[in-house]
Amino acid sequence: MLDPVLVAAIAHLWFVTIHPFEDGNGRIARAIADMALARADNIPQRFYSLSSQIMAERKDYYRELEQAQRGELDIAPWLAWFLGCLDRAIIRADEWVAGVLYRAKVWRGANEYPGLNPRQRLILERLLSDFKGHLTTSKYATIAKCSNDTALRDIEGLVERGFLARNPSGGRRTSYRLVEPRE
């Protein structure tokens, strides 16, 4: 009996190689592979998407497909790439789930402090999503649309409550970072 993950890889390769339709063969092949993996997992939900990972690695995907289709009858390199791609998809999903759980811990902690003002909640949300670098008073003031004095008071409140910590540099370069939430 062939491993169901290998079945998914071979089914994907065969469908793309046969190329039965004028358009959409790649999408259907990815759907076939995802369906075969879902059946192999035998669980109602999956948090990884092989199809998304293949699209993220599109250049390598096409190279590997071409080598498997135009080379010898040996599809071992295709299978190795497919399994590696699946592994990367699972790692990516693990990172995504870890991020969701981290944000949930922070918000659980924030909900224990009903005194957080809307500016502080806005900053926490920004720090948990697309914020680059470290937080400074001036960045806080710009994002929250408040004065530097108000920003400093808000930041000090977040430090006191354990959401932020001061970075080692001080003075005019004082910056802050999120603290790992308590369990």
CATH topology classification for 114-178: Arc Repressor Mutant, subunit A (1.10.10)
The domain ranges of the chain are: 4-99, 114-178
Residue 36 confidence (pLDDT): 86
51 contacts 87 by C-beta, under 8 angstroms:
no
Residue 151 confidence (pLDDT): 96
What are the tokens at 96? Answer: 């995504």
| Confidence band, pLDDT 50/70/90 cuts, at residue 183 | low
What is the average pLDDT value for the chain, to the nearest integer? 89
41 contacts 74 by C-beta, under 8 angstroms:
no
Residue 148 pLDDT more than 90?
yes
Residue 84 pLDDT more than 80?
yes
- Give the tens place of pLDDT for each residue, 88-147: 999 999 999 998 999 999 888 888 877 899 999 999 999 998 788 889 999 999 999 999
Among 163, 154, 179, 153, smallest CA distance to 111 is for 163
- This model's pTM is above 0.75: no
Q: CA quadruple 147, 153, 155, 157: dihedral positive or negative? A: negative
CATH topology classification for 4-99: Fic-like fold (1.10.3290)
Q: How far apart are CA 136 and CA 155, in angstroms?
A: 9
- Give the tens place of pLDDT for each residue, 42-61: 777 777 888 889 999 999 99
Residue 28 confidence (pLDDT): 92
Residue 154, Ramachandran bin (φ over 0: left; ψ between -120 and 50: alpha; else beta): alpha
